[in-house]
Amino acid sequence: MNRKHREPLIHLSKRKELAWQKEWGIRLLAIVIALIVCAVVTVIVTGIDPIGFYKTMVAGAFGTARRRWTLGKETAVLLCISLALTPAFRMRFWNLGGEGQILIGALATTACMILLGNKLPAPLLILIMVLAALAAGAVWAMLPALCKAKWNTNETLFTLMMNYVATQLCAYFIIVWEVPKGSGKIGIINQSTEAGWLPIIGNRYLLTILVVAILTIAMYIYLTYSKQGFEISVVGESEATARYVGIKVSKVIIRTLLISGAICGLTGFLLVSGTDHTLTTTLAGGKGFTAVMVAWLAKFNPLGMVLSSLLLVFLSQGSAEITSIYGLNQSFGDILTGIILFFIIGSEFFINYRLHFRKAAK
């Protein structure tokens, strides 16, 4: 009868705050459902049995000591980039330029290794390399930040474009420095003298992991306990409020992006000097974008990002194993990662909102 004023079937309201156990419970549930869907998709497409699917995935990530170290290193690199992006994200500045900032840091590192290698004592050389990488990354992030602060230029699009400028710049220098001529590759830099290579502690990956571990804690303290960290949160919450309480918004934007870009540059340094010892245009390999998801999944909390970056690296290593064992195309891993991300992204809804179903008529 009274159709017009019927209550809608589902009514939404925003949740205040959820206990962290419940919050992670929902996320875990989403991941479990996602893994089941992934297994179903894999079975349909390839005919693998589902239990073998999970076993292979775990074995691919944790199976041998070497794989565990790779897992640790990959997690550290991804975590480092996410840490770099986080201060910007907390300010609601969408720095999608991680990719370019890493590359430009790597390029600066490479330039120092090639031009100054063998001319300076090792500690001084490495110090100069670090400084160059930090500065290069910072400059790359600061250009969009300056424009944002001054003219409110859209930072998402600006940082995105800067990635490709950096990529082409790297491509240019790779050809300038190519060894041997005509190969289109730089090859291993300073292979005989190892000038500018980070010293090996324990094994090749340990130093990178340690650096990132220290950085994680430092970033957590910076964001939660320092005055600057607080200013970042206020600007992110509301620029008007920030201005009202006397925070100089443009200064905070530029300062934060300097930090953000510098840490991306540092990641580039770690990759070139610590592990790869060469420069390619695919050095960052999409991690600048993956890190956006890592940071977002952890709600921009540096400690939570340890877990979320571990999860994403586990997924990519695990699915890489599946593709190689069952002779599938490499890209299958991207499909699986995509499916899992969709579920996690969707699950945030149930963390942020509450559903009220219409009560049955009495």
Partner 1 sequence: MLDLSLFIPRAVMQGMPLLYGSTGETISQKAGNLNLGIPGVMYVGAISGVIGAFLYERSVGGAVGMNPALTILIPMASCLFGALVMGLLYCFLTVTLRANQNVTGLAMTTFGIGFGNFFGGSLIKLTGADVPSITLSATSNTFRTQLPFANTTGVIGKVLFSYGFLAYLGIIISLIAAHVLSRTRTGLHLRAVGENPGTADAAGINTTKYKYLSTCIGCMIAGIGGLYYVMDYMNGVWSNDAFGDRGWLAIALVIFTIWKPDIGILASILFGGLYILYLFVPTGTNLAVKELYKMLPYVVTIVVLIITSMRNKRENQPPASLGLSYFREER
* Nearest-approach distance from CB 95 to partner 1, in angstroms: 10
**Nearest residue to 326 (alpha-carbon basis) of 65, 57, 32:** 57
* Nearest-approach distance from CB 170 to partner 1, in angstroms: 9
Residue 12 makes contact with partner 1 by CB under 8 A: yes
- Give whichever of 86 and 208 is closer to partner 1, judged by the CB atom: 86
Residue 37 makes contact with partner 1 by CB under 8 A: no
**Nearest residue to 314 (alpha-carbon basis) of 81, 72, 99:** 72
List the beta strands (DSSP E) in 15-58. Answer: none
- Which of 116, 131, 165, 254 is the binder for partner 1 (CB under 8 A)? 165
Beta bridge partners, 10, equal: 357
Binders in 250-289 for partner 1, by CB under 8 A: 286, 289
Binders in 288-327 for partner 1, by CB under 8 A: 289-290, 292-293, 296
- Give whichever of 118 and 330 is closer to partner 1, judged by the CB atom: 330
Q: Is 69 helix (H, G, I), strand (E, B) or coil?
A: helix
Residue 154 makes contact with partner 1 by CB under 8 A: yes
**Nearest residue to 293 (alpha-carbon basis) of 277, 280, 310, 312:** 312
* Nearest-approach distance from CB 157 to partner 1, in angstroms: 5
- Which of 111, 169, 206, 247 is the binder for partner 1 (CB under 8 A)? 169
* Nearest-approach distance from CB 289 to partner 1, in angstroms: 5
d(CA 128, CA 296): 33
- Give whichever of 254 and 339 is closer to partner 1, judged by the CB atom: 339
Q: Is 209 helix (H, G, I), strand (E, B) or coil?
A: helix
- Give whichever of 78 and 209 is closer to partner 1, judged by the CB atom: 78
N- to C-terminal Cα separation, the chain: 16
Residue 183 makes contact with partner 1 by CB under 8 A: no
* Nearest-approach distance from CB 151 to partner 1, in angstroms: 4
Residue 241 makes contact with partner 1 by CB under 8 A: no
Cα angle for residues 165, 208, 217 (degrees, 5° grid): 95
Residue 338 makes contact with partner 1 by CB under 8 A: yes
Which 8-state DSSP code applies to residue 81?
H
How many other CB atoms sit within 10 Å of the CB of residue 353?
12
Q: Which two tokens stand for residue 222?
A: 């910076």
- Collect all residues with Cβ–Cβ distance below 8 Å to 306 and sequence separation of at least 6: 75, 79, 216
Binders in 92-151 for partner 1, by CB under 8 A: 94, 96, 147, 151
Cα angle for residues 188, 178, 136 (degrees, 5° grid): 80
Residue 168 makes contact with partner 1 by CB under 8 A: yes
Q: Which two tokens stand for residue 15?
A: 């949740």
Under 8 Å between Cβ of 306 and 119 = no
Cα angle for residues 255, 257, 260 (degrees, 5° grid): 115
Binders in 199-238 for partner 1, by CB under 8 A: none
Residue 171 makes contact with partner 1 by CB under 8 A: yes
Site string for partner 1, 59-98 (x = CB under 8 A): -----------------------------------x-x--
- Which of 28, 36, 127, 164 is the binder for partner 1 (CB under 8 A)? 164
Q: Which residue has the tokens 């994680």?
A: 216
Binding residues for partner 1, how many (CB under 8 A)? 50
**Nearest residue to 131 (alpha-carbon basis) of 321, 275, 262:** 262
Q: Which residues bind partner 1 (CB under 8 A)?
A: 12-14, 94, 96, 147, 151-154, 156-158, 160-162, 164-165, 168-169, 171-173, 175-176, 286, 289-290, 292-293, 296, 328-335, 337-339, 341-342, 345-346, 348-349, 352-353
